[in-house]
A and B are shown apart, each in its own frame.
Chain A
Amino acid sequence: EDKVVQSPLSLVVHEGDTVTLNCSYEVTNFRSLLWYKQEKKAPTFLFMLTSSGIEKKSGRLSSILDKKELFSILNITATQTGDSAVYLCARGNTGTASKLTFGTGTRLQVTL
C-alpha cells in the first residue's frame, strides 16, 4: 500500500500563530503530492506539488515538497479561526490516472 503519514494528528493554536503541518510518503510510482482542506463538507483543493523545492503560495498558506527526503509541509501564517479544519495530504500515482492515497489528516483548531 502507498503509505502517507501526517503529523501531528491534531493541533490547537491561538489566532495569529504560525503552524507547520507535515506529510511524509512512500516513493513508489510517485507523481504528485496534494493538500486538501476539509471542514464539515467536501475536501477542497489547496495545492498540488510535483517538483522539489518550489514553494507554492496562496495568501497565508504555502507548501513545499522535498522529493529527496519524501515529505511535504503546509505552512499557515497568521492563523484565523476560519482556518480550523482537517488538513489532508494525498499522493498521486503514476499508474491509475488521478487515484489518490490520503493520510489520516491533521485536525487544526484555531482559538481566539
Chain B
Amino acid sequence: NAGVMQNPRHLVRRRGQEARLRCSPMKGHSHVYWYRQLPEEGLKFMVYLQKENIIDESGMPKERFSAEFPKEGPSILRIQQVVRGDSAAYFCASAPGYVGANVLTFGAGSRLTVL
C-alpha cells in the first residue's frame, strides 16, 4: 500500500507561471482533500473532491486556483499566474468514502517556491 502519493515534492516557479500539483489517493479511498500550510502556520483547508465532483471549495482563493479529480488519474491542484504569496507546502489527504470517516491520511506534501 503506497499511501498518498504527491508530486512533485518540490517545485520552483517564477512569478506569473503556472504550478500543477498532483495527488494519487490511497488505494480504496475515493475522497481527496487539499490543504495549504504557510510557514509557521497550521494546515488550512482548501478543497474537498470526489471523483469528477468538487464537494466543498470554501477554502480555495477565488481567483487563480482550481482543482479537479478526474474519473481516471490523479487529483490536480492548479495555480495560475503564481505570486510570491503562493509559496507554501501543499498537502493532499485522502479518506475512505463512507460518512463519519474523519481520519485523513496525508501525503508528504509538495513544496512550492515562487521566485
Give the B-binding residues of A (Cβ under 8 A): 4, 31-32, 34, 36, 41-45, 48, 88, 90, 92, 96-105
Contacts and interface: CB of A to CB of B under 8 A. Distances in A.
Interface string B1-23: 00110000000000000000000
B115 interface: no
**Chain A interface secondary structure, helix, strand, loop or mixed?**
strand
B106 A96 contact: no
Contacts, number: 66
Interface in B24-62: 31, 33, 35, 40-45, 48, 55-56
A104 B41 CA distance: 5
A104 B42 contact: yes
Given A34-B103, A42-B109, A45-B105, A97 B42 contact: no
Interface stretch (B64-72, B77-85, B93-101): B93-101
B91 interface: yes
A34 B99 CA distance: 16
A101 B35 CA distance: 10
The 7 A-B residue pairs with the shortest CB-CB distance, nearest first, are A92-B102, A104-B42, A98-B95, A102-B42, A102-B43, A42-B106, A32-B102
Given A96-B48, A98-B31, A98-B102, A42 B42 contact: no
Contacts of A41: 108-109
Contact of A42 (B4, B40, B102): B4
A97 B109 contact: no
A85 to B, nearest CB: 14
B100 A31 contact: yes
B48 A99 contact: yes
Contacts of A103: 42
Given A41-B109, A42-B91, A42-B109, A98 B45 contact: no
